[in-house]
Structure 1
Amino acid sequence: MRASINGYLTALINTHKNAISPNASTLINNCTRKAINELNDLVEFIKAIPNEQIADTYKEINRLRDILVRFEKDTDTETLRRRNLQKRVVELEESCENMNEVEKNLHLTIKELESANIRYKGHLIEKDKMIMQIREVNSGVWEENRQIKLLNKRSFRKIKILKNKLKTKLKGDC
């Protein structure tokens, strides 16, 4: 019985020694080393006990199994946590790529709007120049209209004066 327990524990120790990996996290490796140390202590304990205390050894084995179950749960939660973090990293990378595409599209839109704005400014400057030319022409026309109006007034006065002279001459001749 002692030999089978000893063999079982030695097999567990070897299994856990193979589980230590440089790729695994420090927490997992530390837990594995701790479990190996406890198994080695248990093997030494079993070698030291007489045959009548084997029943107590079963209690130690059950305690050791509980430790192993807790260790496996810890590694499972660590694995799940690592997987969740890896999924989150992938999601963030995808959203980053999407944001980069959106940013590129926004930059293109901004450049197009800026070039359109420059074109419109050019059209506005041309329109402003045309408006200024039209105002200059209008001011010239206004000036000419004012001069023509003055000439018309003078002409009407002369016509009136001449008409009156003609009437008085005609009255005097008759």
Structure 2
Amino acid sequence: MTDFPAAPAGAVQQPQPFALHGRIGRVRYLAYSFGAMIALLLVAIVLGALLGAIGAGPAVAAGLMQLLVGTLMAAANLVIARRRLHDLGKAGWWGVLLLVPLLNIAVTLWLAIGKGDEGENAYGAPPAPNSRGAIALACVGPGLFLAMVLYSAVDAYKTIGERTRAANSRVF
């Protein structure tokens, strides 16, 4: 068995997307979060197709998908947040605040815009410079997320308007 030498002190840590330890900066936090969201969306699509193929009812399928995908997303978010918190010089336990409704919004914003520690801290060497792919995903991801939210809001508004018009036409 070969023992690999330890990295020299002050060495920049290379990115490892699925590592449980280490530090990631703001850009990788956004990129990894969006990447996890895309991966779990694909899991939901496959799970929905499988549940539809075996004849599960829509309510059962939706409940199972929500439980599985929600649990996986929470776990992925906590792992990613832990690494981001380490970059901020905080213990990973602060990530539990992401499970508190409304407070999770403030914590997510802090993780997304807070400046990490310069140089080495108690959790390791600073993260490596960001790749073009990480930068692109970090820029495109939040924009696509906002577009999906706006699309859903507009669609819901249209649906409410259609129901209101239909209800009014029956009354008169």
TM-score, normalization: structure 1?
Answer: 0.31
- Find the structure with the greater CA-based Rg: 1
Higher relative contact order (CA 8 A, sep 6+): 2
More helix by share: 1
